[in-house]
Amino acid sequence: MDKWIFLIPLLPFLGFLVNGLLGRRLGDRAVAIIGCASVAGAFAISVASFMQVYDAKPDTFLQQDFGAWIQAGDLSVSFGLIIDSLSGVMCLVVTGVGLLIHVYSTGYMKGDAGYYRFFAYLNLFMASMLVLVTADNIVLMFLGWEGVGLCSYLLIGFWYKGLANCSAGIKAFVVNRIGDLGFLLGIFAIWAACGSFEFSAIVAEAPNIDSSAAFWICLLLFVGACGKSAQIPLYVWLPDAMAGPTPVSALIHAATMVTSGVYLLARLGPLFDAAPGVLTIVATIGALTALLAALIAFSQNDIKKVLAYSTVSQLGYMFLAAGMGAYSVAIFHVVTHAFFKALLFLGAGAVIHSLHHEQDMRRMGGLRRRLPWTFALYLIGGLALSGFPLTAGFFSKDEILHIAHSGFGNIEPRSVLWSIGLLTALLTAFYTFRQIALVFFGSYRGASEPQASEESAAHGLELDKVKESPLSMRIPLIVLAALSLTGGFLAIPHFLQPGIEIPEDGKISGLIIGGIVSIAGIAAALTIYLRFPQALKGFLSSAPGKLAHRLSSRKFYVDEIYQKLIIRPIAIIAEICFYVVDRLIIDIILVHGSSFGASALGHLLRRLQDGRTPTYAAWFLAGAILVLAVTLWAAGG
């Protein structure tokens, strides 16, 4: 199998080339087949490679090297791919969930003028993401890292006629670039410390790196992870990224790309273990992000925005796990989250599709009767996200909380972070079922209420016109729902870290507490939104209620603060630099000033030009003597 792993990223890349160059002529059907088949091929090879790694003894891997990509002096970067247990799991998730989302997209994007362009971008994304995952060195990983960022930009701004979409794309790209600068500097620091970019060499060298170097390397890499995985303070791009088509939100902005930061930490685990200071930062940032995003998700009205903040929040959990040094547990949550969050996004897409591009939950309600399939599947996703007992999210999230509570390896228990995590779990269950209540229960509000939001595209759709989505969209949902129910039983931590020691004490009680919190949140949300909506309104019109609602719905004014403190000042500095430094000081005063001086001198000298040859000859002589004198003086000195 190790001869063929290069096909994992290459097949989708070929799909990109064919669809991108010829798609317009091929027709939608051929485009869809090429798009899905290329990913299916990558999935098949991933499965085969994974089986080989799985069957073999621990620490085996498949590797393939295609020679140098960058070379200068003793610096060398190769096109090298590796499939080990970690990248094998990631490949399965990326290609598996990716394939489902490709199939779903064939239905969701039907009739869109940019159909072939969409599949081309999606294939390019798959190729980049698979390079990111299978790269055997950190620079090649960075190629994939930037590639997925590019595709994210392209797909957020997919409907490019809307300038707001394009701006959201640019915001995503630029915020990611800020993180990428950290990542790049981390790469440079790695080379300075290890003299190699290969993961195996870095990990082998990790114990020998001195602690301050390890601290800076890991901190810089974590900055990169914060950008891509939307953690404080760089999470602001992800909610805006919802401007893209919904399958994109599911694939890129929930299941795969945004988990790259977690993957990076897991890949370089031993290096991060050598920097305990950074791990503390990682765990703290993770827990705080989880809480902040959950608080914001509370008051969002856009069905996708709720899910977006929920993604930010769940990514926070993954970093909390990574910050405890439990990388395999973090990856466990990456996997289960990929299942249930893709399910939720695709389910939301089905709702949006059925409502003709309505995304405002204030114009939904009571859809469970008209959309029974979608409702049932969405409910499963919601339960998994809430950590309802025995669903996938229940196991992976509670494993994280358990580790935070009991400590892991050398890392002491972090009870503060554990309590934040537990509170967030409660909030998660609450906002998830607030959403389900608003969308599927109660009475339908789409036809009657006046335009609730300016962005909403619908013009009042009667309930009896609301129809279920086509089969191509439903089947992927069913598969994902099955995975969301069973995914928790995968023993991913034990597979990734054979011999992992998760403390047994308190494990059962942790699960029980987690289950209770989840059920409590769900019950509270359903009770408040279905039984006592008046009480809620009453609370929201009270002073503390108003304040809380405003803070949450305005996202704690973080975007505004960035605008005022960073973006505006840069724009002002740019203006000042241009008009004052470039134009006035350099150009007018220095250059024109000296040329004005020269021309004034010229006027003076013109009197010398009287047209008589002897005068010229005299000046010529004088000039020659001057040059000679200067030369001789210089020669003497």
Partner 1 sequence: MSITLTLLIPVATALLLLCIPKDKTAELRITALFGSLATLAFSLALLGGFDAQYGAGFQFTEKHEWVPSLQVHYHVGIDGISLFLVVLSALLTPIAILCSWKSVEKRVREFHIALLLLTSGVIGVFVALDLLLFYVFWEVMLIPMYLLVGIWGGTERIRAAVKFFIYTMAGSLLMFLAILYLYQHTGTFSVEDIYQKPPLTGTAGLLCFLAFALSFAIKVPLFPVHTWLPDAHTEAPTAGSVILAGVLLKLGIYGFIRFAIPFFPEAAVLAAPWISVLAIIGIIFGALMCFVQEDMKRLIAYSSVSHMGFVVLGLFAFNEQGVQGCVLQMVNHGISTGALFLLIGAIYERRHTRRIIDFGGLAPVAPKLAIIFFITTLSSIGLPFLNGFVGEFLILQGAYSRNIFYAAFAGLGIILGAIYMLTLYRRIFFGETDREENAEMKDLDGRELAFLLPLVGLMVFLGLFSPWFTAKVQPSIEVWMTLLLERGG
Please tell me the distance from the alpha carbon of residue 565 to that of residue 580, in angstroms, as a whole number: 22
Please tell me the distance from the alpha carbon of residue 161 to that of residue 163, in angstroms, as a whole number: 6
For the bound state, the minimum distance from the C-beta of residue 593 to partner 1, rounded and expressed in Å, comes to 12
For the bound state, the minimum distance from the C-beta of residue 472 to partner 1, rounded and expressed in Å, comes to 27
Element (DSSP H or E) covering residue 508: helix 507-526
For the bound state, the minimum distance from the C-beta of residue 169 to partner 1, rounded and expressed in Å, comes to 8
Count of residues that bind partner 1 according to CB under 8 A: 57
Say whether residue 581 binds partner 1 (CB under 8 A).
Answer: yes
Please tell me the distance from the alpha carbon of residue 493 to that of residue 187, in angstroms, as a whole number: 27
CB 307 within 8 A of CB 361: no
For the bound state, the minimum distance from the C-beta of residue 608 to partner 1, rounded and expressed in Å, comes to 20
Say whether residue 17 binds partner 1 (CB under 8 A).
Answer: no
Residue with Cβ nearer partner 1 (204 or 586): 586
The one-letter amino acid code at 521 reads: G
Please tell me the distance from the alpha carbon of residue 637 to that of residue 635, in angstroms, as a whole number: 5
Nearest to 377 by CA among 483, 529, 463: 483
- Distances from the Cα of 533 to the Cα of 446, 526, 537, 540, angstroms: 18, 10, 6, 11
Residue with Cβ nearer partner 1 (120 or 303): 120
Please tell me the distance from the alpha carbon of residue 224 to that of residue 179, in angstroms, as a whole number: 4
For the bound state, the minimum distance from the C-beta of residue 182 to partner 1, rounded and expressed in Å, comes to 9
Coil vs helix vs strand at 483? helix
**Residue environment code for 257-277, b if the CB has 16+ CB neighbours within 10 A, otherwise e:** bbbbbbbbbbbbbebbbbbbe
Residue with Cβ nearer partner 1 (142 or 222): 142
Residue with Cβ nearer partner 1 (74 or 454): 74
Nearest to 289 by CA among 342, 222, 339: 222
Segment contacting partner 1 by CB under 8 A, of 84-92, 327-335, 385-393, 590-598: 590-598
Residue with Cβ nearer partner 1 (608 or 627): 627
Say whether residue 69 binds partner 1 (CB under 8 A).
Answer: yes
Site string for partner 1, 35-54 (x = CB under 8 A): --------------------
Residue with Cβ nearer partner 1 (17 or 30): 17
CB 307 within 8 A of CB 345: yes
Residue with Cβ nearer partner 1 (544 or 637): 637
Say whether residue 22 binds partner 1 (CB under 8 A).
Answer: no
Segment contacting partner 1 by CB under 8 A, of 61-69, 312-320, 390-398, 446-454: 61-69
- Token reading at 458: 């619908």
Considering only residues 471, 565, 604, 635, which one is a binding residue for partner 1 as defined by CB under 8 A?
A: 635
For the bound state, the minimum distance from the C-beta of residue 337 to partner 1, rounded and expressed in Å, comes to 27
For the bound state, the minimum distance from the C-beta of residue 600 to partner 1, rounded and expressed in Å, comes to 15
Please tell me the distance from the alpha carbon of residue 525 to that of residue 325, in angstroms, as a whole number: 34
Say whether residue 563 binds partner 1 (CB under 8 A).
Answer: no
For the bound state, the minimum distance from the C-beta of residue 481 to partner 1, rounded and expressed in Å, comes to 37
Please tell me the distance from the alpha carbon of residue 349 to that of residue 105, in angstroms, as a whole number: 10
Say whether residue 595 binds partner 1 (CB under 8 A).
Answer: yes
Say whether residue 578 binds partner 1 (CB under 8 A).
Answer: yes
Segment contacting partner 1 by CB under 8 A, of 337-345, 451-459, 532-540, 629-637: 629-637
Question: Which residues 412-441 are close enough to bind partner 1 by CB under 8 A?
Answer: none
- Distances from the Cα of 213 to the Cα of 179, 188, 191, 208, 217, angstroms: 19, 12, 11, 10, 6
Residue with Cβ nearer partner 1 (195 or 538): 195
Nearest to 200 by CA among 59, 318, 67, 56: 59
Residue with Cβ nearer partner 1 (167 or 486): 167
User: What is the DSSP annotation of 165-205?
Assistant: HHHHHHHHHHHHHHHHHHHHHHHHHHHHHHS--BHHHHHHH
For the bound state, the minimum distance from the C-beta of residue 131 to partner 1, rounded and expressed in Å, comes to 9
Backbone angles phi, psi at 159, to 5 degrees: -90, 85
Site string for partner 1, 89-128 (x = CB under 8 A): ----------------------------------------
Please tell me the distance from the alpha carbon of residue 335 to that of residue 133, in angstroms, as a whole number: 14
Residue with Cβ nearer partner 1 (523 or 574): 574
Considering only residues 60, 71, 542, 553, which one is a binding residue for partner 1 as defined by CB under 8 A?
A: 71
Residue with Cβ nearer partner 1 (30 or 143): 143
Residue with Cβ nearer partner 1 (509 or 595): 595
For the bound state, the minimum distance from the C-beta of residue 215 to partner 1, rounded and expressed in Å, comes to 14
Site string for partner 1, 172-211 (x = CB under 8 A): -xx--xx-xx--xx--xx-xx-------------------
Residue with Cβ nearer partner 1 (157 or 323): 157
User: What is the DSSP annotation of 89-121?
Assistant: HHHHHHHHHHHHHHHHHHHHTTT-TTHHHHHHH
Backbone angles phi, psi at 371, to 5 degrees: -120, 65
Segment contacting partner 1 by CB under 8 A, of 72-80, 244-252, 272-280, 344-352: 72-80
Segment contacting partner 1 by CB under 8 A, of 249-257, 278-286, 517-525, 569-577: 569-577
For the bound state, the minimum distance from the C-beta of residue 587 to partner 1, rounded and expressed in Å, comes to 5
- Token reading at 54: 């799985």
Q: Could you give the angle at the alpha carbon of 244 between the alpha carbons of 242 and 246, nearest 5°?
A: 80
Say whether residue 582 binds partner 1 (CB under 8 A).
Answer: yes
Say whether residue 604 binds partner 1 (CB under 8 A).
Answer: no
DSSP structure class, residue 506:
T
Question: Which residues 138-177 are close enough to bind partner 1 by CB under 8 A?
Answer: 139, 142-143, 146-147, 150, 153, 157, 160-163, 166-167, 169-170, 173-174, 177
Coil vs helix vs strand at 256? coil
Say whether residue 222 binds partner 1 (CB under 8 A).
Answer: no
Say whether residue 624 binds partner 1 (CB under 8 A).
Answer: no
Spacing of C-alpha 93 from chain mean position: 16
**Residue environment code for 206-217, b if the CB has 16+ CB neighbours within 10 A, otherwise e:** beebeeebbbbb
- Token reading at 173: 């790209």
H helices present in 27-137, as ranges: 28-55, 85-108, 115-134
Q: Which residues bind partner 1 (CB under 8 A)?
A: 67-75, 139, 142-143, 146-147, 150, 153, 157, 160-163, 166-167, 169-170, 173-174, 177-178, 180-181, 184-185, 188-189, 191-192, 570-571, 573-575, 577-578, 581-582, 586-587, 590-591, 595, 627, 630-631, 634-635, 637
